[in-house]
Amino acid sequence: METKLTEPKEVYVLRLYVAGQTPKCMMAFVNLKKICEEHLAGKYQIEVIDLLENPMLASGDRILAIPTLVRKLPEPVRKIIGDLSNTERVLIGLDLKRIK
Amino acid sequence: MANTALKAREKLPKSLTGIQGLDEITEGGLPKGRPTLVCGSAGCGKTLLAMEFLVRGATQFNEPGVFMAFEETAKDLTQNVASLGFDLDALVADKKIVLDFVYIERSEIEETGEYDLEGLFIRLGQSIDSIGAKRVVLDTIESLFAGLPNPLILRAELRRLFRWLKEKGVTAIITGERGEETLTRQGLEEYISDCVIVLDHRVKDQTSSRRLRVVKYRGSTHGTNEYPFLIDEDGISIVPVTSLGLGHNASMDRIPSGISRLDTMMGGKGFFRGSTVLISGTAGTGKSSICAHFVDAACRRGERALYFSFEESPSQIIRNMRSVGIDLEQWVKKGLLYFQATRPAFAGLEMQLTMMHKATIKFDPQVVIVDPLNGFITGDNIIDVKSMLLRLADFLKTKQISSMFTQLMSSNVAHGTSEIAISSMIDTWLVMHDIEISGERNRCLYITKSRGMAHSNQVRECLITDHGVELCEVYVGAGGVLTGSARIAQEAQELALTLTRKQEVERRQIEIESRRKALEAKVAALRAEFGVQEAELMKIITQEQAQASQLLTGRLEMGLSRSAD
């Protein structure tokens, strides 16, 4: 399901904001990992930020909802909230797939 | 009054807002440690009220606060409230206030499953802890509904947020946009039920007024009416005038009216301090001049006077009063007199009242003039005007401020009624009207009533001279009441009559004198005649006696010569 819209050499810098190891956060991380492996193998970085440990970082990316996945690169910045269980919507959010 | 109410309700801890009037309506402020909902339509002052709550908290009550803005950036907010004299930058630098702008862009966000608002909680918690905030404002949290999908989750999260705020023990204001049928668009009133305040901005008869109402306040009594409020350079001020009772003290102190003859009519001492004086009269009878005298007298005593003018500009009043010999400008310069001149149509009744209330508190006068009341009446709002004036009079009385209202009457109405039926709230009522007789118009003044003092029942003629208002007696005689030149003519006639009488008396006195003189002359003549006669008679008597003794002597000599035996 690789889309032709993205440049093959583009690196995806992804940042996942969580707040402790809640089931939702754990789920989000698992889902993200799976999606990246399937669609962005070898060209992604995931940074997990736990706001309980670093609350100051919340305002930087204007985080309200938890979990939030921020696509830092490629630009523009996109935000995806929720536990990433809806794969279709995650792909749309990451611009890996157009809405049909 | 407010203090006793505060003491009686110490059960529910409250947090003073510092906003003028709001603490009185809520009897001590907002519920401490609980969220309060402030809702209203766009532009009604929600953000401002919330911001003033924070700023006053930080500056007056040493309670730092967090302002979480969902609609305006920190920069915009700072600029907006700078016009009200709040220096947010300084407060932020002093760690008294934290401004946090929460930006949500719907198009940037994709929802992919279950989420919560822990991020918001963390941010808010971080801000609160960083300055030890006691107050929190969320303005306008409903924007979240536009920015984030899945309202069901949002509702649950908001419920959790308000509970969390309570646990944190912060006194919070949450603002909400007014909805169609509900108080807020998203029905926030369901979650925040401790205290709900509704703001309103309405336009009636082309004048706008802002109002505030405490819809509910759990566990506390509160003023339930709609209170008008003002937003100006000092922030928000609300006038809870209707809450005032009739608890004012009656002063025995008397203050002169500035017209000595008028004082004489009121037992020689003038009005009671703190009383309400109404001067009603037809156009041009000198109502304002009497006010000016009153103001002048007050300023001479070193008291402060506040003059609300609704018809003339301050400079016009000063010029006009100078023509009757009253110099008001000197008092303005000394800061003892302040004019507030507006057109009555400038704002609604409630706003006018609020402004008068505010100006009175600010200037702290001993004497207040409202000249004239009529401008307030527009169409059929007489009941509103009456209630407004009643509240104004009550307020001034509680403050022990003597007030003088003037009222223009369109014609010489019957005794005991006035155009605005406010006589019941008036302590001293002076009526001035003009009498038109023999081709001229003259002013008359009488006291219709004056509570608590003996007062003259006489009609006085009111003369406006170049040295002020003077009262003089009218001519009351067989020909009725005469004033003006008719009075002067009558007086002249009487004077002539008196003169004639006086001359007659003098003439008669002269006659008596001359008669007396004639009599005395006669007596003198008789006496002289008698004197002559007496002298002659005496002479005869002496001669007779001499002859008799000579005869005797002759007889004896004869006997001797005859040698008789």
Beta-carbon contacts of B343 under 8 Å, excluding residues fewer than 6 positions away, are B310, B375
Put simply, the answer to whether B102 touches A62 (Cβ < 8 Å) is yes
Say whether both B391 and B500 belong to one domain.
Answer: no
Say whether both B289 and B428 belong to one domain.
Answer: yes
Is the model more confident about A31 or about A55?
A: A31
Put simply, the answer to whether B123 touches A52 (Cβ < 8 Å) is no
Rounding to the nearest 10 degrees, give the CA dihedral for residues B500, B502, B504, B508: -170
Number of structural domains in chain B: 3
Alpha helices by DSSP H, listed for B83-149, are 88-93, 118-131, 143-147
Q: Does residue B494 sit at the A interface (CB-CB below 8 Å)?
A: no
Domain membership flag for residue B549: no
Put simply, the answer to whether B119 touches A92 (Cβ < 8 Å) is no
Domain membership flag for residue B547: no
Distance CA B321, CA B305 (A): 16
How far away is chain A from the Cα of B67, in angstroms, using its nearest Cα? 14
Q: What is the mean pLDDT of residues A43-48?
A: 86
What's residue B421's pLDDT? 65
Say whether both B322 and B294 belong to one domain.
Answer: yes
Q: Which of B111, B117, B118, B143 to mutate to test the interface with A (most CBs of A within 10 A)?
A: B118
Q: Does residue A67 sit at the B interface (CB-CB below 8 Å)?
A: yes
Say whether both B268 and B369 belong to one domain.
Answer: yes
- Burial of B509 per CB tally in 10 Å (0-12, 13-18, 19+): exposed
Beta strands in B11-128 (DSSP E): 14-15, 30-31, 35-40, 65-69, 97-101, 109-111
Residue from the list B103, B113, B117 with its beta carbon closest to the beta carbon of A83: B113
What's residue B241's pLDDT? 56
Distance CA B495, CA B16 (A): 75
ipTM reported for the complex, 2 dp: 0.83
What's residue B74's pLDDT? 83
Say whether both B375 and B498 belong to one domain.
Answer: no
Domain membership flag for residue B248: no
* Domains of chain A, CATH where assigned: 12-93 (3.40.30.10)
Domain membership flag for residue B478: no
Which chain A residues are Cβ-neighbours of B120 within 8 angstroms? Answer: 64-65
CB B446 within 8 A of CB B460: yes
Residue from the list A62, A67, A92 with its beta carbon closest to the beta carbon of B115: A67
Domain membership flag for residue B552: no
Domain boundary among B243, B275, B295: B243
Which range marks the domain in which residue B447 is found? Answer: 254-473
The pLDDT of residue A1 is above 50: no
Q: Which of B105, B122, B124, B128 to mutate to test the interface with A (most CBs of A within 10 A)?
A: B122
What's residue B9's pLDDT? 47
Domain membership flag for residue B444: yes
Say whether both B325 and B405 belong to one domain.
Answer: yes
Domain membership flag for residue B550: no
Q: Which of A14, A81, A91, A92 to mutate to test the interface with B (most CBs of B within 10 A)?
A: A81
Say whether both B372 and B462 belong to one domain.
Answer: yes
Beta-carbon contacts of B437 under 8 Å, excluding residues fewer than 6 positions away, are B482, B483, B484, B486
Distances (CA, A) of B274 to B211, B260, B415, B427: 29, 19, 25, 10
Distance CA B112, CA A85 (A): 6
Distance CA B162, CA B120 (A): 12
CATH of the domain at B179: 3.40.50.300
How far away is chain A from the Cα of B166, in angstroms, using its nearest Cα? 20
CB B298 within 8 A of CB B443: no
CB B47 within 8 A of CB B13: no
Rg (CA), chain A: 13
Say whether both B180 and B307 belong to one domain.
Answer: no
Rounding to the nearest 10 degrees, give the CA dihedral for residues B347, B349, B353, B355: 0
Say whether both B208 and B236 belong to one domain.
Answer: yes
For A65, nearest residue in chain B (alpha carbons): B117
What's residue B545's pLDDT? 92
Which chain A residues are Cβ-neighbours of B111 within 8 angstroms? Answer: 80-82, 89
DSSP string, A18-37: ESSS-HHHHHHHHHHHHHHH
* Residue type (1 letter), A63: I
- Cβ-based contacts under 8 A for chains A and B: 95
What's residue B478's pLDDT? 63
Say whether both B455 and B526 belong to one domain.
Answer: no
Say whether both B232 and B338 belong to one domain.
Answer: no
Which chain B residues are Cβ-neighbours of A51 within 8 angstroms? Answer: 118-119, 122
What's residue B479's pLDDT? 60
Q: Which of B70, B98, B107, B110 to mutate to test the interface with A (most CBs of A within 10 A)?
A: B110
Domain membership flag for residue B565: no
Beta-carbon contacts of A11 under 8 Å, excluding residues fewer than 6 positions away, are A43, A44, A45, A73, A74
Put simply, the answer to whether A68 touches B119 (Cβ < 8 Å) is yes
- The whole-number mean pLDDT for each consecutive block of 10 residues of chain B, a chain of 565 residues, reads 49 83 84 89 85 90 90 85 84 88 79 85 88 89 82 86 90 86 77 84 74 85 80 77 60 86 86 88 85 91 91 90 90 90 75 83 90 76 76 83 86 52 80 80 85 85 85 72 77 88 93 94 94 93 92 86 72
Say whether both B215 and B271 belong to one domain.
Answer: no
Q: Is there a cis peptide before residue B344, judged by omega within 30 degrees of 0?
A: no
Distance CA B483, CA B397 (A): 37
Beta-carbon contacts of B232 under 8 Å, excluding residues fewer than 6 positions away, are B358
